[in-house]
Chain A
């Protein structure tokens, strides 16, 4: 049973981290203006701040996602990813409540597009998985670079 939980934790770590790597990379290799337009569509950030958000979020996704996949600074990366998920849920949630005319979330760039109610369910589910991983922080370090320091 413990082995199943161990592999589930490691696999979840790699899948969630990989998802952020792909999402961040897709946004970063596309012109910045495309993601800026997505961010502006949510009408939550004042002018100027929207540019910072559009510039920083893809890098955070890529950096934290990579660390999480590698199992390096795992706890910090997990905390950061949970904060990102919470942020996405708030931003998408307010758009749904305000009935903004957004047809797709724009969260995975052009790779996959989800309607807002679908993405909020997916994000909430993934945040729940992250909470589960947080409670099993010892297990998610397995098969990761953090183990090098554990064993020294």
Chain B
């Protein structure tokens, strides 16, 4: 009798915890707000009516992000109508010293209409520049390679709105509970890490074969 009463209380604690956690989740995650960026601010490519709309929160210095970027580029080249990809900065400065600066350079490339060319450079050259104490010369060299106007680039880097643009997408990521990179939102569904993204896209690939 005693034991069964104790069992009932343990069960009641369990039920209370489950209810409490679900209640708390409902209370905390009421439709995460997203920032509406103007068309010229959007770092996007692909078919806007593609079945997969992917928003990626990226840290250019993270090796997993580089692997993810290469994978997505490959998939998008093979099947041009599958994905619409939008990029948002999520620099993890605590662990990646060049993350914020690389995002600022990318933002400045965007303002000169060369975001994706610069992005490809950042991804391809990442193993080299992430080792450097000062990555600025590497970023300038990449900017020159993709044909950015260096004077405009300098002015852009000094412009407070560039920093704000990076901070804005990072703040959006935080609101959407992004914690690590790469984090993708595939048709609004959160997917963290390349392995899980591959799982979703490869399932689609095998379905359409």
User: What is the interface of chain A, defined by CB distance below 8 A to chain B?
Assistant: 25, 28-31, 33-34, 36-38, 40, 47, 62-63, 66-67, 70, 72-73, 101, 103-104, 109-110, 145, 149, 152
Contacts and interface: CB of A to CB of B under 8 A. Distances in A.
Interface string B142-159: 000000000000000000
A67 B180 CA distance: 31
Contacts of A31: 177, 190, 192
Given A40-B195, A63-B17, A73 B10 contact: yes
A25 B191 CA distance: 21
A66 B21 contact: no
30 contacts: A28-B25, A29-B25, A30-B177, A31-B177, A31-B190, A31-B192, A33-B183, A33-B190, A33-B192, A34-B177, A34-B180, A36-B192, A37-B180, A40-B193, A40-B196, A62-B17, A62-B21, A63-B13, A63-B14, A67-B10, A67-B13, A72-B9, A72-B10, A73-B10, A104-B95, A109-B179, A145-B9, A149-B2, A149-B5, A152-B2
A30 B14 CA distance: 19
Nearest to B9: A72
Question: What are the 9 A-B residue pairs with the smallest beta carbon separation, nearest first?
Answer: A37-B192, A33-B192, A37-B193, A34-B179, A33-B190, A28-B21, A103-B95, A31-B177, A31-B190
Chain B CB count within 10 A is highest, among A37, A70, A73, for A37
A31 B180 CA distance: 12
A107 to B, nearest CB: 13
Nearest to A148: B6
Contacts of B13: 63, 66-67, 70, 72
Contacts, number: 61
B21 A25 contact: yes
A25 B60 CA distance: 31
A67 to B, nearest CB: 7
Given A25-B24, A28-B21, A29-B25, 5 more contacts: A29-B21, A30-B177, A33-B183, A33-B196, A66-B17
A40 B191 CA distance: 13
Contacts of B199: 47
A31 B127 CA distance: 30
Given A67-B10, A73-B6, A73-B10, A37 B196 contact: yes
A67 B24 CA distance: 20
Contacts of A25: 21, 24
Contacts of A152: 2
A111 B63 CA distance: 24
Interface string B16-55: 0100010011001000000000000000000000000000
Interface in B87-109: 95
A95 B155 CA distance: 45
A67 B17 CA distance: 11
A47 B199 CA distance: 10
B2 A110 contact: no
Contacts of B195: 40, 47
Nearest to B189: A33
